[in-house]
Structure formats: structure tokens, C-alpha cells
Amino acid sequence: MTFRLRLLLSYLTLIALPLLVLSTLFYNSSLKVVTEQAQNNVHDVVMKNNDVIDTKLGIVDQNSRSLFVDKDLFQIFNNLNPAKEEELVAADRQVTAILSKYFSQNSDVYSAQLWTSYYTFGSTMLMPLGNPVQSAIYKEAVKAGGKMVWYPTYDFIKMYDQPWLQDGTIDYRYLFSATRLLNFSHMEDSTLVKLKPEVERPVLAISFKSTVMDELFERSIPAGSSYMVLDPDNIVVASSDQSQVTKRFDEDWMDHFREQGSGSQRIKLNGHNQIVSFARSEVTGWMSIVITPQSALVSSLVPVLRTSTIVSAIALSVVALVFAYFIISRITGPIKKLMSAMRSVGEGDFEARVDVDRKDEFGLLSQRFNRMNDRIAMLVKENYEIKLKEKEAEIQALNMQMNPHFLYNTLNIMNWTALENRQTELSKMLVCLSNMLHYTSRKDWEAVHLSEELEWMRNYFFIMSARFEGKFTVAYEIEPALYEKKLPRLLFQPFVENAILHGFSGVEEGGQITIRGWIEDDSRYFEVRDNGRGISKEGIDTILYKESASIGIKNTISRIRMAYGDEYGIRIHSAPGKGTSIVIHLPSKTQ
């Protein structure tokens, strides 16, 4: 991005920021007014719906109270003999007619019945109940002892144990009911007559389809809103999400709403601002709740805001571009001259200079550039001289590589001289020493196979055995699979040397060095064990942690960790008079 473009964008940004602030203030104030008005409207709708529900259900409650003193029902049940089927059938027709008189005018009532343990009176053809006495609805009504019980929406099949209806399509699958235990009585000659004590008191069951409330809410709430009706135990009586009906709705914010009874609040649900309006029914105690997304209420305002913002931005941008044209030409002229000079320097012309004809920041920048160019020219010259010296050092290093070859040739001459004098042991020592020097003086110090490392160790042991005249012997216990893997060069030498020089100090014979190797849990382990005089705990700490001691061992530990990581290294197990065991831990993979 050029400086001219960046400057232009900066001017546009300065215009955009105030515009953004003003647009935000205008949007927020408008949104607040519209939201508050819409919130009040939604709350009014909820309150009206709640009043409608209370009115309809209040009539049902009032009519159910009238049944207590209905003389016809009193005589039917007071004189009924449950053992005679013909009396039950006749009584059913009379009870159906009476219930129809009280509840048929209410179109929301799906069925009205009287339940007893021996018979179900009323419109039983609409709903095959089975044995309603075993249902939770009946038990709640008996427990209430005459008070109206509003039972929330339930699954008809589960409530009345009708599994044979599971695969069918029934329009009364989900119902809510109002139940009341009826203890009939009536006045005769100013005397209150009650049912005989042995007469079973029936339970009035008035059932409503759950869609009764759905129809009321769906045609009255704003588009995009959702609703639900909850009983005091948070069981969903009705909901715009049909899958939630009959389930428990457990949200913490509901507790606060129940304490208020009715109202409207703005809360955040699932990351979105929502307007929640609620009201409690005075008849049932159920909560009617309507949730409206705040964004749905201001959707008509957004296009107006967008249009006004774009028009203002275009007008201000044109003004900004006119001013930018004059200002940019004044600023970018010196920058172009400086860029031209820098391009010449990049191509190798360190004599390029910028004419300084201004005393402002651009003039100072040009002066600094000229000084920098002089400094670069001097550094290039110095760097050239350093390269020449490095070349000379490299040639000298190549010449010094002749020294190992001279040493090998000298050892070879000494070997032939020993053979001519029939000094075979000396000859073998010279050969071993030559192999060791060749192994350690190789220019490539990458990892080697275990077989190469052990070959070097055998040469080393031969020389040390000759020197100490059979003071120790060496044994190998290595798993064959390890021979194909690579490891750092001279891995065992510091530990073997420590065993010979220190472990067997003062020992004339019987020394034993064992080199073991095995694979376990994706790791390689090598052990160098001796039966020497051992090392104290303080001695181990000195070897591992003090800077001035055991340079060879410290170097080996460092090489292992550099190659494989800090989790690998060595462990030393020893005690005075019990020998020493050094375990080397390497990864199974050789890279």
C-alpha cells in the first residue's frame, strides 16, 4: 500500500469515525423508543390473552361449582345401585345431558365427564379412557378434596395407559384438564341434604385440547415471537415449540418472573436480546410468556438508517478527497525523490544523494539518508576485507588437514618396524591406536552404528588391557536389534575410562566391566557396569552437577540431550564397595 493511498484512507477514516458515532447515537435512541413502545404493546397482548383465558376457564370453574347443588345429579348418585348395569346406562344418559347443559356452550371444552371407580359417566365415545381412576389426574382431584385442580398438558396415551393408540392419529393426544371432587347436596324444606356416607363421590373431569391456547397466541403475538404457558411446577402447558409440551422448562430467569407475577423485561437469551412479557392467571396460576426478538421490532428502521448513513458518507468522502488532493501533492513529492535515490542504492550505486532544499521533517529525513548511504559504503568495504580474511583462514585449515595423514603414516611405519622385530603385541597396539585415531578424527561427526562404536571400544580395551596387564575383563550382553540403530559417537568411552582409572584403582586383578543393551517401551537402554570400589552419593553429585569435574561425562550428557531432548540422558547407581552401574537412556528412533 503506497503512502498516498494510506494518507487518503486516513482522511476517509477521520470522516467515517464521527459519522459512525452520530449514526450509532441516532440508531440507539430510535431503537430505544421503538423497543419500549413495542415492549408495552407485547405486554398488553399478553395481558389481554391472559384475561381471555381467565374468562373462559373462570366460566368452567363457576359452572363446576354449580354441580355441587344440582338436585338431579344428587338424586342420580344418591339412589344409584352400581351393581345394576341397566341403572348405570340410564344414569350415564342423564349425567351426559346434565353436563352438556353446563359445558356444551363452551366451544373450548373437549369433554366433560364424571369418574367413579365403577363407571365413567359422560361423552366416553370421544375418549376411550380405560380406567381413569388409576390416573394421576384422578388422584390429584381426590387429594384436593373438592378444590378445582388444573392439571397441565399431558400425553393422553401415557396418562390413561392406552398403548394401542400409539401408532394411530388422534386429535386428543395432548390435553389439559380441570378436575374437582363433587360432594353433592341440595336444599329440601330449608334442610341441607347430603349424599349418603356410603355413596362414592365422583370426580368431575373437564378436558381441553392443548391447541386452545395455541390458537389464541398465534393470531395475536408479533411475527417472529414465541410463546409458552407454564404451570407452577414449570411444566409446559402450551408452546410455539410443540416438542416442549408436557416437558419441564428449567431456566433460572423464570424464578424472578414468578415473583413479579406479571410484567415485561429485556434479557439476553442464547446471545440475543429478547423482550419477555409475562402474566399469571388468577384462575389456574399458570404463567403466560411471550418472547420477542428485539431485532424483529426494529427491522423496518434499519433500511432508513442505512440509506442516510451511506448518503452522508458519500458527501463527506467527496469533500475529503478534494482536500486530500492538495495536501498529498505537498507531502509525496519529497518522498518520491527519496525513493528514487533508494532504488539507485539498491542497485549498487552508493554515490547517490538526495538534494536537501527543505528544513522540515522531510529535509531531516533526506540528510539522514545521505549519512546512512555513506555508512553503508564503508560497511561494504569492511565486509569485503573480512571475506578475504575468511578465505585465507579456510585455505590454512585445509593445509592443516595434512597432519592426521602424517600421523597415520608414522604409525604405519612403526607397525612394520614392530613386525620386523617380531613384536606382535606392540604391532596390534599400534593398529588399534591407528584405528582409534582414524575413528575420532573423521570430519563427519554424525551418529554411527552400534557395531562401529563397539569396534572402537574393543581397540580401546586392548590397549588398556595391555597397559594394566590383565587387571580387568570385558563382557557384552547386547540385543541383536540394537546393532542396526545409530547412536552418538564415543558414547561409552567416558564411563569405561572412569571405571578403569577410578573404579579399579588399587585393584590388581578380578575387575569386570559389562556392557549391556536392550530395548524397552520404545526406548533404548545401555548399561556400563563394573565391580570396582564404587562411588559415594557426594561423588555422584560432583560428577553430575559440578562444573569442574568429569568433563567427558558432562559432554556426553549434553550431546544426548541436544540430539534427543531433555528427557533422555544417564542415571548413575553406585555405593562404596558395591561397584557402579551407569544406565544410558536413548529413544528407540535414531533420528
**Residue 45, pLDDT score:** 84
pLDDT band of residue 110 (cuts 50, 70, 90) is confident
| Residue 491 confidence (pLDDT) above 70 | yes
pLDDT band of residue 525 (cuts 50, 70, 90) is very high
| Residue 21 confidence (pLDDT) above 80 | no
| Residue 517 confidence (pLDDT) above 90 | yes
| Distance (Å, whole) CA 85 – CA 91 | 10
Query: Going from the N-terminus, what domains does the chain have, and what CATH number goes with each?
Result: 51-212 (3.30.450), 214-297 (3.30.450.20), 303-400 (1.10.287), 444-587 (3.30.565.10)
| Distance (Å, whole) CA 177 – CA 140 | 11
Q: What is the DSSP letter of 502?
A: I
Tell me if the pTM is above 0.75: no
Query: Phi first, then psi: what are they for 559, rounded to 5°?
Result: -65, -40
| Distance (Å, whole) CA 186 – CA 71 | 6
Q: What percent of the chain has pLDDT over 70?
A: 80
Q: Which three cell numbers stand for residue 357?
A: 532544499
Q: Which is higher by pLDDT, 153 or 331?
A: 153
Q: Which is higher by pLDDT, 239 or 351?
A: 239
**Residue 366, pLDDT score:** 73
SS3 of residue 74 by DSSP: helix
Q: What is the DSSP letter of 302?
A: H
Q: What is the DSSP letter of 360?
A: S
| Distance (Å, whole) CA 139 – CA 133 | 7
**Residue 317, pLDDT score:** 67
- pLDDT tens for each residue of 251-289: 878 877 888 888 888 888 878 888 888 888 888 888 888
| Sign for the pseudo-dihedral over CA of 521, 527, 531, 537 | negative
**Residue 529, pLDDT score:** 94
Q: Which three cell numbers stand for residue 329?
A: 501533492
